[in-house]
Amino acid sequence: MDIVVALKQVPDLVEELEINDEGTGLDPDVLSFVLNEFDDHALEEALLLKEETGATVTVIGVDTTGELDQALYTALAKGADRAIKIVGDFEEGERLPIPVMARLLAGALQQMTYDLVFTGVQAADDLDGQVAPMLAALLNVPHVGVVTSVARVNGVVKVQKEFWGGITADLEVDLPAVLGIQAARQAPRYAPVSRVRQAMKEATIEEIEVEDLPEAPVAPLRRMFIPEVSGRAEILEGDEATIAEKIVDILRERGLIT
Amino acid sequence: MSTYFVIAEHLQGVLTETTFEALGAARNLADATGGQVVGVVLGHEVSELAAQMAAADKVLVVDHPSLAHYSPEGYVKALEPLLQEHRPRLAIFQNTAIGMDLAPYLAARLDWPLVAYCNALRAENGAIVTTSQIYGGKVMAECRLDDGPAMVTVLAGAFPADDGRAGNSPSVEQVTPSTLNGLHTRFLQLNEPETGDVDITKADVIVAVGRGIQSEDNIEVAEELAQALGGVVAASRPVVDAGWLPRTRQVGKSGQKVKPKLYLALGISGAPEHVEGMKDAELIIAVNTDPNAPIFDVAHYGVVADLFDIVDALLETLEK
Ligand SMILES: Cc1cc2nc3c(=O)[nH]c(=O)nc-3n(C[C@H](O)[C@H](O)[C@H](O)COP(=O)(O)OP(=O)(O)OC[C@H]3O[C@@H](n4cnc5c(N)ncnc54)[C@H](O)[C@@H]3O)c2cc1C
Ligand SMILES: Nc1ncnc2c1ncn2[C@@H]1O[C@H](COP(=O)(O)O)[C@@H](O)[C@H]1O
């Protein structure tokens, strides 16, 4: 069984974000990138399946940040067998619309053999949907999103999909299929720095060069902005002891503590 | 006349709250533009649900045994020809575990633009202007859909469900689904939520911890504080995914919806998926080192500080 995992870097949301002068995206100069957390789960689930079934795991990404190598080498260090990056004339850090991203990935996948494609369930940075369902539509294969476990049973996979309020469903899906992974069955493994360094020395990242961006219907962005601070919390100031007293006073006033 | 489609969602025979919110959003757009609202219910023996979509002018019911349980494939196969035929000005899906499956798939199949994560929609000189909450709630994006057909997914809690519930009984029309044979996705079973040691939906006081708690060992200090306040500990998704607390303690989109008298959010950024589950708490106090964390937009009181310092100080003050 061949599993392909799509990896995407997203701006680190703990940092302060700034909008570029055109109001069309984030200012790339002040961005630091991290692997989308759900992709880490997607990779983990793929590696678990590799251990259970001897599947091969290929990681792939559209390099829009110029920094994807780091994520790919880390995946190799964790146990992925092969890494591919799709490169082209994308401006670094520019927001590539998801329908374009999905078409780039679909183009690459059509040249490969795969039984399962995993993506993270979503990335917090996009505006126009998720890659996984679009990819499935373009590849004409079934898709299930918000998946929290995948097991191979008799030539098909059994997946668990989450709804809400803790309700889940078990579904059986024929291969090939695209799955949007919300969480792996266990917390994602950690790659020791030494292994990542070794991967950087020994492994190669294959490249797929794209000449022209594919045409796709794209939501016409008017502007991006940082939300106004209306309805913002009243900030309690002072040292810790003062703040603690203020909180306790508020709770007392409301009869929450006596 | 502009037509606004609303794709209903239901589980276990009940329409979701977000379905009514999406209906409310559609009704308000239709009233502003002189359009009509068409609800779509997919399932098996679901006419009763169609009648509940009060704010719709018309409801299309796609009834088929293969749709008795939700499967992404069954739903998209049934919806694609329907959308193709009607080409609505706007098809409104919900940003939920169901709508997230459907809208992008159909957008790619039909080559229609899709705007996700909408928390506001308004008509403006014939265009529909959308506002979306992206980057975990830290950035807003405005798009302008000049003409249709197009699609959106709407965030839970952003539109008035009451407007979706108000109205006369819509006319109901049965639609024969196109072929649903040979699906590659089969429903096996629905699993009820686990029941755990505590039911966080019943607690008056919740001390909720996020990734800022940093490690499993640190859960203990939150427990201590919860005990001192007579409450229980809950968590954001990453804490549960890491295995530091059971799934039953998760607040948010895929976890529980809570409405306690006090929600103390420690080291939680306030992503829309978390906020969905706790924004109706009577009193929200948030502690976060990041002054720009979106949690401060829903909290009543905020503290920009290290959560461990504040928890220690609180424990000391409460002891006095
Ligand atoms: C389909 C779907 C469903 C989801 N369902 C849910 C759900 O039900 N519930 C849920 O919570 N999430 C859910 N999520 C995930 C959600 O998108 C966010 O990833 C998640 O809520 C982030 O959790 P967090 O705030 O704990 O972590 P982060 O976003 O990483 O935030 C951690 C915060 O802690 C602060 N911090 C760090 N150290 C300290 C310190 N020492 N003191 C104080 N503050 C500190 C940081 O500034 C940061 O703001 C879902 C996502 C998807 C795609
Ligand atoms: N540029 C990309 N390269 C590789 N994978 C991507 C890319 N964009 C999105 N994906 C995949 O699709 C998932 C969902 O992201 P998104 O569709 O952007 O919400 C990500 O977690 C990745 O697995």
> To the nearest whole number, what is the mean pLDDT of chain B?
96
Mapping DSSP to helix (H, G, I), strand (E, B) and coil, where does residue B237 land? Answer: helix
The answer to whether residue B186 scores a pLDDT higher than 60 is yes
Mutate to test the interface with B, among A128, A168, A232 (most CBs of B within 10 A): A128
Residues of chain B positioned with their CB less than 8 A from the CB of A218: 113
> Is the separation of the CB atoms in A178 and A132 below 8 Å?
yes
Residue in A closest to B262 by C-alpha: A256
pLDDT greater than 70 at residue A231: no
Reported as half-sphere exposure (CB side, CA atoms, 13 A), residue A122 has a value of: 24
Mean pLDDT of B104-133: 96
Asked if A155 has any chain B CB less than 8 Å from its own CB, the reply is no
The finding on whether B9 has its CB within 6 A of some atom of ligand 1 is no
Query: Number of helices (H) and strands (E), helices first, in chain B?
Result: 10, 17
Domain membership flag for residue B192: no
pLDDT tens-digit profile of A169-184? 999 999 999 999 999 9
pLDDT at A13: 86
Q: Answer yes or no: do B11 and B155 share one domain.
A: yes
Q: Is the CB of A165 less than 8 angstroms away from the CB of B107?
A: no
Residue B20: give its domain's CATH number. Answer: 3.40.50.620
More confident residue, B194 or B231: B231
Asked if B283 lies within 8 A of A254 by C-beta distance, the reply is yes
* One domain, residues B237 and B157: no
Bridge partners (DSSP) of residue B10 are B15
The secondary element (H helix, E strand) that includes residue A62 is strand A56-62
Prior bond of B149 cis (ω within 30°): yes
- Nearest Cα residue to B71 out of B79, B83, B59, B60: B79
Q: Which residues of B touch A131 (CB under 8 A)?
A: 104
One domain, residues B244 and B142: no
Question: Per the CB < 8 Å rule, is B134 touching A168?
Answer: no
Q: What is the pLDDT of residue A242?
A: 97
Q: What is the pLDDT of residue A229?
A: 64
Question: Considering only A64-68, B54-58, B255-259, B294-298, which range has the smallest mean pLDDT?
Answer: A64-68
pLDDT beyond 60 at B247: yes
* Chain B residue numbers touching A138 (CB-CB < 8 A): 108
For residue A223, tell me if it sits in a domain: no
Domain membership flag for residue B188: no
State whether residue B66 is helix, strand or coil. Answer: helix
As a whole number, mean pLDDT of residues A191-210 equals 96
- Measured between CA atoms, the residue of chain A closest to residue B80 is A137
Q: What are phi and psi of B263, to 5 degrees?
A: -125, 110
Is B171 found in the same domain as B281? no
Ligand number nearest to the C-alpha of A180? 2
Q: What percent of chain A has pLDDT over 90?
A: 78
Domain-located, residue B186:
no
Mean pLDDT of A215-224: 91
The answer on B167 and B20 residing in a single domain is yes
Which residues in A lie closer than 8 A to residue B139 (C-beta atoms)?
Answer: 17, 19, 26, 224-227
Rounded mean pLDDT of B108-133?
Answer: 96
Residue B194 confidence (pLDDT):
79
The C-alpha torsion from A176 through A174 and A126 to B290, rounded to 10°, is -110
Q: What residues contact B227, with CB distance under 8 A and at least 6 apart?
A: none
Q: CA dihedral in degrees (B303, B308, B312, B313; nearest 10)? A: -20
Cα separation, A137 vs B109, in Å, equals 6
Domain end (from B125, B158, B175): B175
Q: In this structure, is residue B102 part of a structural domain?
A: yes
Instruction: For ligand 1, pick from B236, B256, B306 the residue to mutate: most ligand atoms within 8 Å of CB.
Output: B236
- Does A94 have pLDDT greater than 90? no
Interatomic CA distance for residues B37 and B35, integer angstroms? 7
Q: Does a structural domain hold residue B195?
A: no
Band the pLDDT of B168: cuts 50, 70, 90: confident
Query: CB count, 10 Å around CB of A20?
Result: 16
Same domain, B101 and B221: no
Q: How many domains does chain B have?
A: 2
Chain A residues near residue B12 by CB distance under 8 angstroms = 167
Selected residues 44-83 of chain A with any CB under 8 Å from a CB in chain B? none
Region label for B35, one of left (φ > 0), alpha (ψ between -120 and 50) or beta (otherwise): beta
Measured between alpha carbons, how far is B315 from B229 in angstroms, rounded to an integer?
9
Concatenate the DSSP letters of all residues of A33-53 into one string: EEE-HHHHHHHHHHHHHHHHH
| pLDDT the model gives residue B169 | 83
Element spanning B234, H or E: strand B232-235
Check whether B300 has a pLDDT greater than 60.
yes
Structural domain that includes position A100: 2-210
Per-residue model confidence (pLDDT) at position A108: 97
Q: Which of B141, B175, B209 is the last residue of a domain?
A: B175
- Residue B248 pLDDT greater than 80, yes or no: yes
Using CA coordinates, name the residue in chain A closest to B240: A187
**Structure confidence by residue, pLDDT tens digits, A110-160:** 999 999 999 999 998 888 989 999 999 999 999 999 999 999 999 999 999
Instruction: State the count of interchain CB pairs (< 8 A) between A and B.
Output: 283
pLDDT band at B306 (very low <50, low <70, confident <90, very high): very high
Answer whether B144's CB lies under 8 Å from B129's CB.
yes
Inside any domain, residue A229: no
pLDDT at A70 over 80: yes
Which residue, judged by its Cα, is nearest atom 20 of ligand 2? A120
**Cβ contact (<8 Å) for B192 and A241?**
no
Percent of chain B with pLDDT over 90: 92
Residue B25 has pLDDT above 90, yes or no: yes
For B59-94, write each residue's pLDDT tens digit.
Answer: 999 999 999 999 999 999 999 999 999 999 999 999
Does the residue A244 lie in any domain? no
Nearest by CB: B116 against A128, A145, A231 = A128
Q: For A61, phi and psi rounded to 5 degrees?
A: -155, 155
Query: Is B193 among the domain residues?
Result: no
Q: Does residue A237 lie within any of the structural domains?
A: no
- We report the CATH number of the domain holding residue B232 as 3.40.50.1220
**B262 has a chain A CB within 8 A of its CB:** yes
Q: In chain B, which among 169-208 make CB contacts under 8 A with chain A?
A: 183-194, 204-205
Which residues, including other chains, have CB under 8 Å from residue B246's CB and lie 6 or more apart? B194, B196, B197, B240
Residues 201-220 of A with CB under 8 A from B: 216-220
Instruction: Examine the domain organization and report whether B210 and B158 are in the same domain.
Output: no
User: Does residue A250 lie within any of the structural domains?
Assistant: no
Assigned domain for A248 exists? no
Distance CA B313, CA A202 (A): 51
The confidence score (pLDDT) of residue A230 equals: 62
E strand or H helix that includes residue B25: helix B17-33
Which of B10, B15, B105 would you mutate first to test chain A, the one with the most A CBs within 10 A? Answer: B105
> What are the tens digits of pLDDT across the range A31-69?
889 999 999 999 999 999 999 999 999 999 999 888 999
Report how far residue B101's alpha carbon sits from residue A182's, in angstroms, rounded to the nearest whole number: 13
Interface of A with B in 227-256 (CB under 8 A): 227, 229, 231-236, 240-241, 243-245, 247-248, 250-251, 254, 256
The count of other CB atoms within 10 Å of the CB of residue A63 is 21
Q: Quick check: is B191 in a domain? A: no
pLDDT at A93 over 60: no
Q: Are residues B170 and B46 in the same domain?
A: yes
pLDDT tens-digit readout, A3-19? 999 999 999 988 888 89
Q: In this structure, are B161 and B209 located in the same domain? A: no
Task: Look at residue A126 in the predicted model and tell me its pLDDT.
Answer: 85
The separation between CA B230 and the C-alpha centre of its own chain, rounded to angstroms, equals 30
Mean pLDDT of A249-258: 93
- Mark yes or no for CB contact B204/A161 under 8 Å: no
**Model confidence at B196: pLDDT above 80:** no
Asked whether residue B13 falls in the same domain as residue B135, the answer is: yes
Cis peptide before A142 (omega within 30 of 0): no
* Largest CA-CA distance found in chain A, in angstroms, rounded: 69
Residue A249 has pLDDT above 80, yes or no: yes
B169 and B112, same structural domain? yes
Assigned domain for A215 exists: no
- Chain A environment of B194 (Cβ under 8 Å): 166
Q: Which domain holds residue B78?
A: 3-175
Compute how many other C-beta atoms are within 10 angstroms of the C-beta atom of residue A255.
8
Which H or E run contains B110? helix B99-110
Mean pLDDT of B290-298: 93
CA of B58 to the centre of ligand 2 (A): 37
Which residues are CB-contacts of A167 (< 8 A; sequence separation ≥ 6)? B11, B12, B190, B191, B192, B193
SS (H, E, C) B73-97: HHHHHHHHHHHHHHCCCEEEEECCC
Of A138, A171, A216, nearest to B71 by CB-CB distance is A171
Task: Kindly list the residues from chain B whose CB atom is less than 8 angstroms away from the CB atom of residue A162.
Answer: 97, 254
Find all residues with CB under 8 Å of B49, minimum gap 6, and list them: B8, B10, B13, B15, B41, B43
In a domain, residue B236? The reply is yes
**Dihedral sign from CA coordinates of B105, A75, A94, A213:** negative
Contact A248, A256 (CB under 8 A): no
Give burial (CB, 10 Å; 0-12/13-18/19+) of B255. buried
Whether the predicted pLDDT of B252 surpasses 80: yes
Residue B264 confidence (pLDDT) above 70? yes
How many structural domains does chain A have? 1
In a domain, A227, yes or no: no
The single-letter code of the amino acid at B228 is: A
Dist CA A185 CA A182 (whole Å): 10
Q: Residue A47's domain is classified under what CATH number?
A: 3.40.50.620
Average of pLDDT values for B206-232? Answer: 97
